[in-house]
């Protein structure tokens, strides 16, 4: 449901979800390792930006089709299919659905999800729960890298970007080869997506 943050409570749930989202049945046996699992609890939605944070050019990620968030040329440059596919959450169909881009060999995956009613403040307020937490500026927007595991070991990375007050654009990258930079993939996707977003009205 909107505004409700899911909690992954068991390793079994993590494996099931990773297996569903990883491309190709051949990878099911190693889904948890390959996909890095889910990042776990996300902080509760907020409606205000943290004190001192300024979004000089607010954008509206909800004003465009989510599978148009990443331009085809940018997706190809990142080694992904030019067209993403919207996928409902198999564990919570009412949760915001991401658009997912896979590499041709199915080894890398990128998800972009606009989250309305969410503030970057929520991640600052809950930063102690993340093993990996960094404040970033991506495409001129305040952002955070917030992961409950080590992205280098897990091959999974979440970055959250404040598009405007009360809205966040989430980028989640998974790489099966952990020598690759999952956080770099997520950040480059946001850098390509944000300039194409319409201005917030």
Predicted local distance difference test score (pLDDT) of residue 117: 93
Which residues contact residue 133 at a Cβ distance below 8 angstroms, ignoring those fewer than 6 apart? 123, 127, 144, 145, 146, 147
Single pTM value for the model: 0.75
User: Quick check: 190 pLDDT over 70?
Assistant: yes
- Whether 155 and 36 have beta carbons less than 8 Å apart is answered as yes
| 153 vs 49 pLDDT, higher one | 153
| 93 vs 2 pLDDT, higher one | 93
Structure tokens at 54: 């300024």
| 130 vs 3 pLDDT, higher one | 130
3-state secondary structure of 51: coil
User: Quick check: 12 pLDDT over 50?
Assistant: no
* % of the chain surpassing 70 pLDDT: 74
Segment 91-115 mean pLDDT: 94
Name the one residue in this structure whose structure tokens are 């307020």.
Answer: 125
Short-list 102, 127, 100, 103, CA closest to 111: 100
Q: 181 pLDDT band (50/70/90 cuts)?
A: very high
Structure tokens at 71: 């331009």
Predicted local distance difference test score (pLDDT) of residue 50: 44
How far from the centroid of its chain's Cα atoms is residue 153's Cα?
18
33 membership: H or E segment, kind and range: helix 31-35
Average pLDDT, the chain: 80
Predicted local distance difference test score (pLDDT) of residue 66: 94
User: Quick check: 157 pLDDT over 80?
Assistant: yes
Predicted local distance difference test score (pLDDT) of residue 146: 98
Q: Which residues of 154-187 are buried (b: 16+ CB within 10 A; e: fewer)?
A: bbbbbbbbbbbebbbbbbbbbbbebeebbbebbb
Structure tokens at 2: 């909107």
Least confident of 12-21, 132-141, 170-179, 192-201: 12-21
Which residues contact residue 8 at a Cβ distance below 8 angstroms, ignoring those fewer than 6 apart? 14, 17, 38, 40, 41
User: Quick check: 10 pLDDT over 90?
Assistant: no
Predicted local distance difference test score (pLDDT) of residue 1: 40
Predicted local distance difference test score (pLDDT) of residue 175: 97
User: Quick check: 174 pLDDT over 70?
Assistant: yes
Q: Edge-to-edge, what's the strand order for the sheet holding 141-147?
A: 85-86, 99-102, 108-116, 167-175, 156-164, 141-147, 132-138
């Amino acid at each position: 449901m909107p505004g409700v943050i899911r909690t992954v409570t068991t390793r079994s749930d993590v494996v099931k979800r990773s297996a569903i989202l990883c491309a190709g049945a051949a990878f099911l046996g190693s889904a948890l390792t390959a996909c890095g699992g889910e990042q776990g609890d996300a902080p509760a939605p907020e409606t205000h930006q943290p004190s001192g944070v300024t979004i000089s050019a607010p954008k509206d990620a909800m004003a465009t089709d989510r599978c148009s968030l990443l331009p085809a040329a940018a997706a190809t440059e990142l080694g992904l299919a030019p067209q993403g596919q919207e996928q409902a959450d198999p564990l919570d169909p009412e949760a915001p659905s991401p658009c997912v881009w896979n590499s041709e060999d199915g080894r890398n995956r990128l998800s972009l999800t606009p989250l309305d009613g969410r503030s970057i403040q929520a991640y600052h307020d809950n930063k102690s729960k993340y093993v990996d937490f960094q404040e970033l500026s991506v495409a001129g927007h305040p952002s955070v890298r917030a992961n409950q595991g080590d992205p280098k070991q897990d091959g999974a990375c979440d970055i959250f970007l404040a598009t405007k007050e009360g809205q966040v654009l989430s980028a989640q990258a998974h790489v099966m080869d952990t020598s690759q930079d999952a956080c770099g993939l997520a950040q480059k996707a946001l850098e390509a997506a944000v300039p194409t977003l319409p201005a917030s009205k």
